[in-house]
């Protein structure tokens, strides 16, 4: 919200093992008056780094980027027989409330020439669809090249 004083939540208590994870390069020192605590959530045998943005999200102005209508997405897929899904799961790594729509908007801009031709973006997933395998190989190469460049 405009004119909201900075919110900085103190770090949560953690274990030496988890502190060691913080040195992996995900986090760097900040002088910002805004801050959110880091925590680790066990996912299988691994620890997943998360950031608790609850307090910051309460004062963040929400972005209203529209999600595509499922029926329209299905209409685009008519006639396609070959599919590939790319999950950009680190695209918005546990970030603020507007991150999913901001990320989707960015991906729609990046892939604008391919949208409605052979590609659909839905939040952090990219669906590539084609009528035949040869065409699909070309589409996949195009998408992967764009991702490499961006």
- pLDDT, tens only, 18-70: 777 666 666 677 788 988 888 888 888 888 878 888 888 888 777 777 778 88
DSSP 139: H
pLDDT of residue 67: 77
Residues spanned by the domain of 30: 16-59
Q: Within this chain, do residues 109 and 87 fall inside the same structural domain, yes or no? A: yes
Rounded to two decimals, the pTM is: 0.60
Looking at residue 95, its pLDDT comes to: 52
Up-side HSE of residue 9: CA atoms within 13 Å toward CB? 14
Tokens of 88: 């950009």
Shared domain for 54 and 122, answered yes or no, is: no
pLDDT on residue 103: 81
5 domain-assigned: no
> Does a structural domain hold residue 9?
no
Comparison of pLDDT for 116 and 102, the residue scoring more: 116
Q: In total, how many domains does the chain have?
A: 2
Contact of 120 with 76, CB cutoff 8 Å: yes
At 77-109, the pLDDT tens digits run 999 999 999 988 765 554 566 677 778 888 999
**Residue 128 is inside which H or E element, if any?**
strand 125-130
We report the CATH number of the domain holding residue 84 as: 3.30.70.270
Average pLDDT of the segment spanning 73-77: 90
CA 93 centroid distance within chain: 6
Whether residue 124 is predicted with pLDDT greater than 90 in this model: the reply is: no
């Amino acid at each position: 919200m405009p004119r909201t004083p900075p919110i900085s939540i103190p770090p949560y208590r953690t274990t030496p093992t988890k502190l060691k994870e913080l040195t992996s390069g995900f986090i760097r020192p900040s002088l910002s008056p805004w801050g959110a605590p880091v925590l680790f959530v066990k996912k299988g045998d691994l620890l997943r780094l998360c950031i608790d943005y609850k307090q910051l999200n309460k004062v963040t102005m929400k972005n209203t980027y529209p999600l595509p209508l499922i029926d329209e997405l299905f209409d685009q897929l008519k006639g396609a027989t070959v599919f590939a899904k790319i999950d950009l799961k680190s695209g918005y790594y546990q970030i603020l409330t507007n991150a999913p729509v901001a990320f989707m908007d960015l991906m729609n801009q990046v892939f604008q020439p391919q949208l409605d031709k052979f590609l659909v973006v839905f939040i952090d997933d990219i669906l590539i669809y084609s009528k035949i395998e040869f065409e699909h190989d070309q589409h996949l190469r195009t998408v992967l090249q764009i991702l490499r460049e961006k």
